[in-house]
Amino acid sequence: MGSVDNGLTAFNRNSTTGAISFNETEINGTGGIEGLSVAQNVIVSPDNQNAYVTDSFNGNLAVFQRDNITNKMRFLEVHSDNQGGADGLSGATGIAMSTDGKFLYIASEFDDGVAVFSRGTSGALTFIEAQFDGIGGVTGLDGAIAVALSPDDKYVYVASTRDDALVVFSRDTTTGQLTFLEFH
């Protein structure tokens, strides 16, 4: 993955030795691939079937599905800020997934928020909600850049640069939705 190369590079790993070898590079604008103009962060689903890539500059979240036979990545879809119902992706940087692989959380630096998506069986995403700094009692998200879940998946933590804060949300493990608790 590289913000200069506008792409996602995949490697194969030898499970015995740990050695890696080049597999492929998926490039923004080729073969219908979108959402990788300024690729920022990537996360792989717990079942190793999907890769999710944030594009911070353009507010995109690109979704790829892995072919189980060739290990090649296939572009599945892109979600863009303020398009198709998605919100909270402007400056999408940090990315985290629940341990069951059912929900994805994106920290957005320019939207000062965190976006929530549910993940279907193919790896496709559905926008659930976004929490924004200064709305509904939420505070501390100005410049949100990183997101993480607690090991028990009950809490989501978001770090922000401009507020110089760590924001804590409780998480509904069934719906993925967030409730603001506090910030430090």
pLDDT of residue 71: 84
- Looking at residue 180, what is its pLDDT? 98
β-pair partners for 92:
108
Q: Is the pLDDT of residue 182 over 50?
A: yes
What was the pLDDT predicted at 163?
96
Please compute the mean of the pLDDT values over residues 132-158 and round it to a whole number: 98
Which option is the CATH number for 7-183: 1.20.1730.10, 2.130.10.10, 3.90.1300.10, 3.30.450.20?
A: 2.130.10.10
Q: Mind listing the pLDDT tens digit for each residue in 18-40?
A: 999 998 888 887 888 887 777 88
Q: Looking at beta carbons, which pairs linking 76-83 to residues 24 or more positions away fall under 8 Å?
A: 76/50, 76/122, 76/123, 76/124, 77/124, 77/125, 78/34, 78/35, 79/35, 79/117, 79/125, 79/127, 80/35, 81/108, 81/111
HEC secondary structure over 112-168? CEEEEEEECCCCCEEEEEEEECCCCCCCCCCCEEEEEECCCCCEEEEEECCCCEEEE
pTM: 0.91
